[in-house]
Structure 1
Amino acid sequence: MFLLIDIGNTKTKWMLRDKGRIYKHDSFLTEDIDQDHFEFDVAIKKILISNVAGFEKEAILKIKLKKFSCSVEFIKPQKKYKYLLNGYKEPTTLGADRWLSALSVSHHIKKSAVIVSAGTAVTIDYVSFDQKNNQYTFEGGVILPGLHLTKNALANNTANLKSFEGVVQMPPINTANAIESGFVLSVLGNIKSLFDIACSESQDVAIILSGGDAELIDQHIDKSLKKYVSIKKDLVLEGLFIFASH
């Protein structure tokens, strides 16, 4: 049995599974990581973790997981893992979540992909596929503030741009809608830019959306791109499972 844990900046997701099926799947706020979230009667063979929330959270979780008396591994990006190359200039500085998402996508599809994770931060990454050599390469990507961060930054650093709930509207006719629309259009523009790069090198490209705001982005993506889009919620956990089962 594997315990897979994805520690994000805002939310921590986890999954208890073996090679055949998922037994439990839940989440909690990362700020509550010091509480007892993992109470199982089954024997855990291995624990694999992705952490982007800093060393303190990692140290707390290590203490919490000692009771399982099994291998605990925090996954770090590598220069190469199986069929996936890491094109980052300094491979180990790539976020573990981005690396694991790329691994998950490259494990399940035989094409190039633009991978979008819309959470606390938004990452938009390009993974190329060399069909002849069955080789994927993480080519790089962009990082943007997520919707919540965008609203907070504007509310905290300007006099009149307070954080209210808005909707995407073109053109926006109130401040809340202007902020919401600005965020979504920024993400969509970056997706299109990475998609164009991918299409210049490959005839078959997928767009994979994940993260808490995946549906929001999907609602407004250009009709010309819709046929390329799919939503995959647990890319990081899927990537951890690939590490666990090989």
Structure 2
Amino acid sequence: MFLLIDIGNTKTKWMLHDDKSIYKQGTFFTEDIDQDHFEFDEKIKKILISNVAGFEKEAILKIKLKNFSCPIEFIKSDKKYKYLLNGYQEPATLGADRWLSALSVSHDIKKPAVIVSVGTAVTIDYVSYDQKNNRHTFEGGVILPGLHLTKNTLSNDTADLKNGEGVFQMPPIDTANAIQSGFILSVLGNIKSFFELASNQLKDVVIILSGGDAELIHQHMDEDLKKYVSIKKDLVLEGLFIFAKS
């Protein structure tokens, strides 16, 4: 049994996975990582972890996992893994979550892809595909503040913009709606730009949406773009499982 852990900035997701299927899974707030979330009777043969929440959370988790007498591996980005190349200028600086998401997509989909994760931060990445050599390349992407981070930043740093619940509206006619709509339009615009970039180089491009606000973005997409979209919630954990099996 493998224990797979995805430590995000806001939430941590975990999964117990045998060689074929998911056995158990759960989620907790990353700020509560010092609590006892991993008390299993099952025999764990390896633990694989993705961490984007900083060294302190990594150190705490190591202590919480010390009772498991098995190897523990924190996955880092590399220049290459199997059929996936890393086109980042400094490959080691690519976030483990983006690398693992690209690995998951490249393992399952033999097409170029725009990978969108909509969480605390929004990442929009382009992965190309070389059909002749059956090889994907992580080509790069952008990072934007997520919805809650956008609201908090505007509320904290701008006197007249308060952190309220808004809805998408065109054109927006109140402040909460203006912030909500601005965020959604920004994400959609970036997705469209990367989709057009990918489509100009290769045909048959897919868009993969993940993250807590994936559904929010999906519901506001144009129908002509929606037909290329799949929603996959656990890309990072799926990428960890690929490492676990190797």
What TM-score, normalized to structure 2?
Answer: 0.99
Shift in Å, 1:29: 0.2
Shift in Å, 1:151: 0.1
Shift in Å, 1:167: 0.5
Match of 2:9 in 1: 9
CA displacement 1:41-95 (0-9 Å, x = unmatched): 0110000000000000000000110101110000000100000000000000000
Shift in Å, 1:20: 1.8
Shift in Å, 1:125: 0.1
**Any residues of structure 2 matched to 1:1-246 within 5 Å, and which?**
1-246=1-246
Cα distance in 2 for residues equivalent to 1:160 and 1:197: 37
- SS state at 2:65 partner: helix
Cα distance in 1 for residues equivalent to 2:23 and 2:84: 28
- SS state at 1:114 partner: strand
Between the two proteins, what is the percent identity of the paired residues? 80
Letter aligned with residue 219 of structure 1: Q
Letter aligned with residue 92 of structure 1: A
Cα distance in 2 for residues equivalent to 1:54 and 1:185: 30
Shift in Å, 1:146: 0.1
Count of matched residue positions in the alignment of Structure 1 and Structure 2 = 246
Cα distance in 1 for residues equivalent to 2:200 and 2:20: 39
Q: Which runs of at least 4 in structure 1 moved beyond 4 Å after TM superposition?
A: none
Cα distance in 1 for residues equivalent to 2:69 and 2:203: 48
Cα distance in 2 for residues equivalent to 1:239 and 1:21: 14
Cα distance in 2 for residues equivalent to 1:159 and 1:205: 43
